[in-house]
Amino acid sequence: MSQQKNVIQAGELILDLRRTVLNKGGSEFHLTPKEAKLMAVLMNNIGRVVSRHQIMKEVWHTDNGDDTRTLDVHIRWLRQKIEDNPRIPEYILTRRSKGYELRVQD
């Protein structure tokens, strides 16, 4: 992973936080501000499981980890944008009872 001011790169994924645009192999995906923050959290933790609680705290600024349906919906939206098959994700993986993990090819 490399990071410049307002740009994070992980494998073929390049996130421009200023424009809230994610580039994957030459394709651009416009993200909402929350999607961009969520993607940044995942990209800054490549290969590590990020707990649902940690994501809720960093993206939504809440310690209430009881209701994470919003997180699930945002993960689904990101998968629809970047995964070749969102039903069989290769990038954003669910780690049951733990959280989410971003996997990228070097």
Tens of pLDDT, residue by residue over 4-45, are 789 999 999 999 999 999 999 899 999 999 999 999 999 999
Residue 94 lies in a domain: yes
Quick check: 65 pLDDT over 90? no
Residue 65 lies in a domain: yes
Domain that holds residue 86: 32-102
Task: For residue 44, report the phi and psi dihedrals to the nearest 5 degrees.
Answer: -80, -5
Task: For residue 41, report the phi and psi dihedrals to the nearest 5 degrees.
Answer: -60, -45
Residue 90 near residue 103 (C-beta atoms within 8 A): yes
Q: What CATH number should be reported for the domain holding residue 81?
A: 1.10.10.10
Residue 12 lies in a domain: no
Query: Taking the model in full, what pTM does it have?
Result: 0.91
Report the number of distinct structural domains present in the chain: 1
CA atoms within 13 A on the CB side of 18: 4
Amino acid at 16: D
Q: If pLDDT is split at 50, 70 and 90, which confidence band does 49 have?
A: very high
